Amino acid sequence: MAVFHSLGGCIPVIRVIVLTFGLAILIMSGCGPSSTSSNSTGSTSGNRAPDDSSSSSPVAIQLNWYPESEHGGVFQAEAEGGYQAAGLNVDIRPGGRSAPVAQELALGRVQFGFANADDVVVYRRQGLDVVAVLAAMQDNPRCILVQEKSGVDSLSGLGGLTLQCQAGRPYLEFMRSKGLLEKVKEVPYFGSVAPLVADPKIAIQGYSCAEPLLAEQEGVKVRVLMVSELGWNPYSSVLITTGKLINEQPELVRDFVKATQAGWESYLKDPGKGNADILAENDHGMTADVLKFGSEQMRSLAMPTGDQSKVFGRMSLKRWAELIDQMDVLDPSQARLVKPEDCFTDKFLK
């Protein structure tokens, strides 16, 4: 059985990283430039060799899961030469179940990463200077999947089911606050649709751009219950960096964001090149059919019906303020620690 993401972004970094940051820097200082993630893809795109030109600026980006369609814009930019044209030698580092996005950014071992908007709020609450610079998905793909034969047709009807989910995610607390998880047994999710396929009394968390097809390929009809319809809709596939890099190397951030933005626009028109490289880098059961399905679903998530914006990846202060208000209500002890204007900048988007 293939295993796919739907862990829904980065697992929040524990607070101890803030307390031990200075020690970690001292430890890492002896490692020099070679102290990169063991998951690094090296050349980042298929079998392409890295650009060793002294004129190219080295840039590393940490994915929040194994390479999939929600990372498509980065792989497309690399495959089409967008980064190279911008003078960037990009190292795309795959993630996994515990992708250390915030840690790698904080330690300066990568310059960019992927996250969801709620992850950014969590990171900033923990004292990490993480800033969003582009949001590929305007609508969040988070969903709960149930078998059609379960009889459940809305998120209010989950009572009596066992929900496989990643504990601690803010969307779960939002659902709980709405009373939607009463009489629901919550158990760990391990990234597979197999339990859902085997038992109509099991529901699983998922992304609408992956798991629905996986389940149907196993011969099971499913219902896709979108969490965004409840009013919980953080930006997703968010490109993040640090305030330090923005202040110290704004040209590097501008060039990377511009090339990534172009990569996303190209990917959503014709994802062929990006998907080929994703398929070459993902050795966790990824298939061409799943990537095709995912890239098709991405179009409506990245460019929702009625969206009049002509700037791809743009974000608004209103959306960030609404998200922080929701998260502050869920955890009053963390209220007012984060300001929406500190979470993002759109100055690099054209």
Query: Which residue(s) pair with 187 in the sheet?
Result: 164
Q: Do 73 and 260 meet the contact criterion of CB atoms below 8 Å apart?
A: yes
What's the token pair of residue 24?
């970690």
State residue 191's pLDDT score: 82
Q: Say which DSSP state 12 is in.
A: P
CA triplet 261, 262, 267: central angle to 5 degrees?
100
Predicted local confidence at residue 258, as pLDDT: 98
79-86 contacts at long range (C-beta below 8 A, 24 or more positions apart): 79/45, 79/46, 79/273, 79/274, 79/276, 79/277, 80/263, 80/266, 80/273, 82/259, 82/260, 82/262, 82/263, 82/266, 83/59, 83/256, 83/259, 84/51, 84/56, 85/259, 86/255, 86/256, 86/258, 86/259
- The pLDDT assigned to 297 comes to 95
16-139+234-343 and 142-230 have identical folds: yes
* pLDDT for residue 266 is more than 90: yes
* Average pLDDT rounded to a whole number, residues 145-166: 97
pLDDT-above-90 percentage for the chain? 77
Taking the alpha carbons at both ends of the chain, their separation in whole angstroms is 42
Q: What is the pLDDT of residue 54?
A: 57
Q: Cα dist. 267→8, 59, 141 in Å?
A: 21, 21, 18
pLDDT of 37 > 50? The answer is no
Find the helix packing angle between 250-269 and 288-302, rounded to 10°. 110
Q: β-strands 185-188, 162-165: how paired?
A: parallel
Instruction: Return the DSSP state at 330.
Output: H
Give me the pLDDT at residue 261, please: 98
The radius of gyration computed from the CA coordinates of the chain, to the nearest angstrom, equals 20
Query: In terms of Cα–Cα distance, which of 56, 77, 44 is closest to 312?
Result: 77
CATH of domain 142-230: 3.40.190.10
Task: With a cut of 70, say whether residue 95 has pLDDT above it.
Answer: yes
pTM for the complete prediction? 0.85
Q: Which of 105, 80, 120 is nearest to 238 (CA)?
A: 120
Residue 5: pLDDT band by 50, 70, 90 thresholds?
A: low
Cβ neighbours around 2 below 10 Å, total: 16
The domain limits of the chain are 16-139+234-343, 142-230
Average pLDDT over residues 293-312: 90
pLDDT digits (tens, 9 = 90+) for 110-137: 999 999 999 999 999 999 999 999 999 9
Q: pLDDT band for position 4 (50/70/90)?
A: low
User: For the chain, how many residues are written?
Assistant: 350
175-202: pLDDT as tens digits? 999 999 999 999 999 888 999 999 999 9
Sign of CA dihedral 170, 175, 178, 179: negative
Judged against a pLDDT cut of 90, whether residue 83 lies above it is answered with yes
The architecture CATH gives domain 16-139+234-343: 3-Layer(aba) Sandwich (3.40)
Report whether pLDDT(81) > 70: yes
- Quote the CA–CA distance of 42 and 21 in Å, as a whole number: 26
